A and B are shown apart, each in its own frame.
Chain A
C-alpha cells in the first residue's frame, strides 16, 4: 500500500504556487484548488470549521482536506462517526448558533441519510422564522458518477437540491471554479450545496494570479461561457463541461460552431446567460450525467421554450444519463453515461444534420 503511495509522483503543494511569473499561467489540480480555498477561508474567518468522515487524521477521503487538521487543530477540523443524520443536524445547529460549518459528505449519496436536515432544518429555516434563524452552512462532497462504483454510489443530486427554495446549489468544473465557488459558498450566509466530482479532483487546469489570490471569489448564480460559438448552445456542468468542450472541437472540424456554457450554478440558474446564448445560436443541447426525468436539462429546456421560443430553429435536445441504476460492468457503465459522441450527435441533430447511429458502443 505504501509502495503505491510512493509511486504517485510529486504532487505540487500549495507553496509551490507562490513562485510564478505573471505572464505564464500556473497549473493547479481541482483538489489543490479546493484545499487552498478551504485553507484560506478558515484562515480568514475563525467561525469557519470543517466536519465530516475522515476529514482530519486521514487527511480527507479524497485528500481534499490535506494538512488542515495539522494547521487548524482538532477543534476546527472534526472527524465524525459514520452518522450522517446526526452530524449534519449538528452542523446545522452550529450554523443556527452563528458558526460557519463546512460539512463534508464522503459522497452525496450519503447525504440522503441527512436530507431532512438539509431541506427542513437548513433550507427552510430562514423563511419559517421570517429571517431570525439564518443558516450559513456549506454541504460539500463528490456528486454523481465516478468509475465502477456501482448503483448506490453514482447518483447525481443536482436536480434534487436544485429544486428546493432556500438552497443554493453550485457545481464547479475547473480549478478556477473550485476555488472561486467554494470561497463564495463559505462566505455566503445561506445554505449552499457544493457538488464536486471525484474524477475531476486530479485534473489540472491553468489558473491566473488573480485566481490564486486569497481574495478571489466567483459570483453565485452566474454561468461562464467557456467557448464562444454561433451555431448551437451546449449547456453542461461539472465533468460534462470537459466533454462538451471536446465535442465542440469535433463539431468545429465539421463546420459547426458550438457555444459551451459552464453552468457553475444550478440554483440560482443563470437563465439570462442561457437564453441570451440561445437567442444568438437558435439551438440548444443540454448535457448532464444525472437522470433525465425532472433533471437540470429539463429545467433549462423549459426555461428556453418559455422565454425564447420564437428564437428556436430546432427542437431542444437533452443528453443525460441512461434511465437505469448505474451498472458495474465497464461496457454497461460506458453506455449509461453520456459520451462525447452523444453530445456531437445531438448538436448535429439540432443543426439539421442527420447522423447515422453509432454501430458499436
Chain B
C-alpha cells in the first residue's frame, strides 16, 4: 500500500518517477524494511493512556511521506505565486508547514474513513485522492477543477475519497463531521470521521454541542485541532482562556501530538481510530505551524516575529525531519532526495500549465447544481427579463 502511494494519487504522466523508483530499488531496499522510530517527543494524554512513542513504519512509507510532503509544499508555494499573479482570486489559505498532519493522518486511515476540514484544504484534498490539476484548475476557476470552478479554494470535495470539504464558516465543519460519524454508525460501517479545525475554531460553541452529542450517542468522531497557534492574527493565549485544546473536551479523552512529526501524527490517528470505534469521541491536538499568514492577504509577520517563523523552519520543519530520518537510515541519498524535489517541482509546473489550458465554466453552468432535482423551475439572472434558465 505504501509503495503504491508514490505514483498515485498524484497522477503524473512523467516517466521520471519510475526511474527514481528503480534507482531506489537498486539499493538494498528491494523489499520494504520495517523500522521502528521514536517520535520526537512523547504524547501528552488527557483521560486516556497515551500510545507508545515507538512508531512502526517502513522504508517505502517514509519515502512516500517525503515525496507527498514535498509535493504539497511545492503546490502551496506555487499557489502563492499564482495568487500574486492574480490567477487565483478571493481567498487562498495555504498549508505549508502543516503537511505532516494531512500526510500522517492519511497513513492511518482508508478511503471509507471520512475527513472534513475548514478552508485550508488543498493538501487534505490531495491526500484523499485529489490531483494537482484538479487543485490548480479549481483555484483558477476552471471547469476541470474538482468543483468545476464553482467552489474555489475553500470548497474542495472528493466524496469518493471520503473527503467532505472544504468549508468557509469557522467551526461549522465540526458538527458536520460528527454527522458523518453518525452516518457511519447508523450504516454500521466500521469507520471513523476526522473533523479538523484550528485553534481559532476551538472556542466555537457548536464544537461543544457536537462533542456532547457525539459522546452521548457514542459516535466514531475524532476532533482534530490543528493548533498552529494563531487564529488569523490572534495568538492562542489571546483567544482561549485554556489553550490546552486537547483537554477542552473535558469528559472526552484527548491527546497532544507533535504535529510536525509525521510519524507521531500517524500513531495518534491510528490510536484515535481504534479508540473512537470502541469508545466514542476524542480530541487530538496537533501542535503545528503555518509558514504563510492566515491567507494571502495576511503577511503573517505583524503578529509573529520573523525569528519565530524561521526558528520553526529550522528546528521543526516536517519535511526536514523526514529527510534526516531517511538519510540517517540510509534509505536514500541526498541526491535522490533532491531529485524527488526537482521532480515534484516539475510535476507542479506541468499541472499548472495544464490547468491554465482548462476552460472557464460555460455561462450555462451558472444555473446547474442549484438543486439535485430542479423540478423544471425558472431561475433568473440579474435582468430577469433578459436571462432566465430552467433548472433541470
A residues whose Cβ falls under 8 Å from a Cβ of B: 49, 75, 78, 80-81, 83, 85-99, 116-117, 120-121, 125-134, 136, 165-166, 168, 188-190, 219-221, 268, 271, 306
A278 to B151, CA, bound (A): 40
How many of chain B's residues have a CB under 8 angstroms from any CB in A? 52
Contact across chains for B180 and A97 when beta carbons are under 8 A apart: yes
* Most chain B CB within a 10 A radius of its CB, from A93, A94, A306: A93
Rounded to whole angstroms, the CA-CA distance of A80 and B368 in the bound complex is 35
Q: Is the CB of A89 within 8 A of B147?
A: no
| Least CB distance, A164 to chain B, in whole angstroms | 10
B375 touches A89 (CB 8 A): no
A95-B157 in contact (CB<8A): no
Cβ of A93 and Cβ of B180 under 8 Å apart? yes
Q: Are A130 and B148 in contact (CB under 8 A)?
A: yes
The verdict on B183 contacting chain A, using a C-beta distance below 8 Å, is yes
Once the chains bind, are B180 and A128 in contact (CB under 8 Å)?
A: no
* Contact stretch, chosen from B9-17, B46-54, B209-217, B264-272: B209-217
**Is B104 an interface residue, CB under 8 A from the partner?**
no
Top 6 A-B residue pairs of the complex, sorted by shortest distance between their CB atoms: A93-B179, A86-B209, A89-B175, A97-B183, A83-B209, A130-B148
For residue B187, which residues in chain A have a CB less than 8 angstroms away from its CB?
A: 97-99
Residues in B neighbouring A165, C-beta threshold 8 A: 370, 379
Q: Return A185 CB to nearest CB of chain B, in Å.
A: 12
Q: In the docked arrangement, what's the CA distance between A99 and B187, Å?
A: 9
Of the candidates B178, B205, B212, the one whose C-beta lies within 8 Å of that of A93 is: B178
On chain A, the residues within 8 Å of B157 by CB distance are 128-129, 132-133
Stretch of B162-170, B305-313, B329-337 with 4 or more beta carbons under 8 angstroms from chain A: B162-170
Closest Cβ of chain A to B274, distance in Å, is 21
Contact between chains at B147 and A94 (CB < 8 Å): no
Q: How many A-B residue pairs have CB under 8 A?
A: 160
Tell me if A90 and B167 are in contact (CB < 8 A). no
B246 within 8 A of partner (CB): no
Among B186, B368, B372, B373, which residue has its beta carbon within 8 angstroms of that of A94? B186
List of B residues within 8 angstroms of A85 by Cβ: 175, 205-206, 209
Q: A97-B187, A306-B384 are in contact. List 15 more A-B contacts (CB 8 A).
A: A85-B209, A86-B178, A86-B208, A88-B175, A91-B179, A94-B186, A97-B184, A120-B168, A128-B166, A129-B155, A130-B147, A132-B159, A165-B370, A221-B375, A221-B377
Q: Is B24 an interface residue (CB 8 A)?
A: no
Please measure, in the bound complex, the distance between the C-alpha atom of A271 and the C-alpha atom of B378, giving whole angstroms.
10
B172 at the interface (CB under 8 A from A): yes
Report A130 CB to chain B, min CB distance, Å: 4
**Given known A83-B212, A130-B369, A268-B377, contact A78–B217 (CB-CB < 8 A):** yes
Expressed in whole angstroms, the minimum distance between the Cβ of B157 and any Cβ of chain A is 4
- B174 at the A interface (CB under 8 A): yes
Smallest CB separation, A223 vs chain B (Å): 13
A81 touches B180 (CB 8 A): no
A78 to B167, CA, bound (A): 26
- CB of A128 within 8 A of CB of B155, answer yes
Question: Distance in Å from the Cβ of B175 to the closest Cβ of chain A?
Answer: 3
Bound: A75/B181 CA distance, A? 14
When distances are taken between beta carbons in the complex, the residues of chain B under 8 Å from A95 are 179
Question: Across the two chains, which residue of chain A brings its CB closest to B159?
Answer: A132
> Would you give the shortest CB distance from A268 to chain B, in whole angstroms?
4
Contact A86/B183 with A78-B217, A189-B372 known, Cβ cut-off 8 Å = no
